[in-house]
Amino acid sequence: MAIRISNIKLPIDHTEKDFIQAIEKKLRLPIKKVKAYEIIKRSIDARKDVRFVYQIEATLTTDEKKLVEKLHSQDVQIVKEKKQKELIPGDEELLYPPIVIGAGPAGLFAALELAKYGYKPLILERGRDVERRNKDILHFWRTGELNIHSNVQFGEGGAGTFSDGKLTTRIKDSRIDQVFQTFVEEGAPKEILYVHKPHIGTDNLKKIVYNLRQWLIKMGATIKFDSLVTNLIIEEGKIVAVEVNYKYQIPAQVVVMAIGHSARDTYEMLYQQGVTIQGKPLAIGARIEHPQQLINEAQYGSYANAPQLGAADYTLVKSAGESEDDRACYSFCMCPGGVVVAAASEKGMVVTNGMSYYSRASRVANSALVATVSTDDFKGDDPLAGVRFLRKYEKKAYQLGGGGYKAPAQKVGDFLDGVPSNDLDDVPFRPTYRPGITPTDLHLTLPDFVSQSLEQAISVFGKKLRGYDTRNAVLTGVETRTSAPVRIPRKEDFQSENVIGLYPAGEGAGYAGGIVSAAVDGIRVAELLIETYRRPRKNF
């Protein structure tokens, strides 16, 4: 039996001896009575003096239950045993290997679960393997030559591979531990298991994605890259095959559709095929860059340069005002010590996003600053109206940037004053977006209500985080891929509302937002498949 000890507060420069003394104090026992302990959570309390707050689990040489009763403290509790769910394979016959479309977190984790139970999935990914994808992306950033199938959105690992790799999520699900354990087994730093806001970084993510592929193949899965699913063959409401690259068909009985939020051509194909899809609200805006030191000082005060704390982050939210043009705004995908990335996936459209390496060592902090957009703001009632809405502003950004995927950018002061930026000479850092930025007026690439909402938000956020509204912070646009513009609704059994055998999953289906929740959703769908279908015969 283990006990959990919470609220161990220590200065950020504490020693191991301090840590042990704090445990002894909480337990009122000498450390020799502790058989083993493990840190399960570490957060930063920056309210007064900046401190670390730990939670640990320990086993003792004495009776844990008696001690907990004696101490009668909220901070020392017995740990409830977590029971690993054993899946019992179902009875229905599976004629063909399950097909997983998309090798992002949802698709990869669905495939892993299926492969672990011997279901030998076939993964079809439109993009390239992570090694070739890496080269394509670096080439794009250097030259402005975009590969529409191998980019920041598409390719092995999915949209989050070239990211900060933040693993924070708002969902509560026992499968989260499984996702974290898998990341650690495949090369993530072990600390992700206990730090409050874990992140992996692009450098680690690329390795992990590569390792996951090796593991999948070992377990009997097949992965086909450069394989765009161009059609679903549906007969009498049932999926019977998928078409790849407009060229050939693969017979199918169950298809996990984990296509992410940027597969607009695939959304169009689904709509044409009569698969039920719905438009959904979204958020758009721009990336904002500040010196990382400014954020560190705002968050940690005199501790700003403490190496133990690393680069500081923030989360900012503003609710909607009374006017139609004062929408709810929030910061999104904050990348401490990172870079703004060119994240387009279609020709002639500019899209921004952010990423960091594990060290978060760049001197610039960035995050998206976005305002909410409702389906009433789209022109048109069909489910693809949101896609058209996003494309319109991405195209404007391309034009305003002057071509070659340069992005329009503006100093915050000029944005608030409503005047274009002619240069960014007095900005105290080099804006990080590549292949380059064009100083201009960002109002020209955003809907008026979004510009106005962002202006309000910048002032409000400046009061919450000192320096956020500094005049020579830089805005780069447009940020349009915060979530899917479409939902592919599914029934309780996770199948599409009107196509038997089609299992929409992850962010692209509207059932997740972020790496961890997408991975968890993939596992949930795979578990259901395992519990429905009989394990395939050997010659599958």
Q: Pick one of 165, 338, 386, 408: the residue that binds ligand FAD (CB under 6 A).
A: 165
> Does 127 contact ligand FAD by CB under 6 A?
yes
Cα angle 520, 131, 123; round to 5: 45
Mark 343-372 with x for binding to ligand FAD (rule: CB under 6 A) and - for no binding. x---------x-x-----------------
Site for ligand FAD in 318-337 (CB under 6 A): 333
Distance of CA 423 to the CA centre of its chain: 33
What are the φ/ψ torsions at residue 39 (nearest 5 degrees)?
-75, 130
> Does 98 contact ligand FAD by CB under 6 A?
no
Q: How far apart are CA 499 and CA 494, in angstroms?
A: 11
Contact 505, 522 (CB under 8 A): yes
C-alpha radius of gyration, the chain, whole number = 25
Pull the structure tokens for residue 288: 């904002």
> Does 341 contact ligand FAD by CB under 6 A?
yes
> Does 113 contact ligand FAD by CB under 6 A?
no
Q: Pick one of 8, 50, 100, 105: the residue that binds ligand FAD (CB under 6 A).
A: 105
Contact 76, 3 (CB under 8 A): yes
Contact 115, 65 (CB under 8 A): no
> Does 512 contact ligand FAD by CB under 6 A?
yes
CB closer to ligand FAD, 107 vs 401: 107
Q: How far is the CB of 228 from ligand FAD (least distance, A)?
A: 5
**Residue showing tokens 């898998």:** 182
CB closer to ligand FAD, 152 vs 349: 152
Site for ligand FAD in 177-236 (CB under 6 A): 228-229
Helix axes 175-185, 515-532, angle to 10 degrees: 110
**Residue showing tokens 């708002």:** 170
CB closer to ligand FAD, 20 vs 148: 148
Q: Which residue(s) pair with 287 in the sheet?
A: 368, 476
CB closer to ligand FAD, 162 vs 429: 162
Count residues near ligand FAD (CB under 6 A). Answer: 45
Distance of CA 332 to the CA centre of its chain: 10
The piece of 130-138, 387-395, 439-447, 513-521 that touches ligand FAD (CB under 6 A) is: 513-521
> Does 431 contact ligand FAD by CB under 6 A?
no
Three-class secondary structure of residue 391 per DSSP: helix
Where on the chain is the footprint of ligand FAD (CB under 6 A)?
Answer: 101-107, 124-127, 152-155, 158-160, 162-166, 228-229, 258-260, 263, 266, 333, 341, 343, 353, 355, 481, 506-508, 512-516, 518
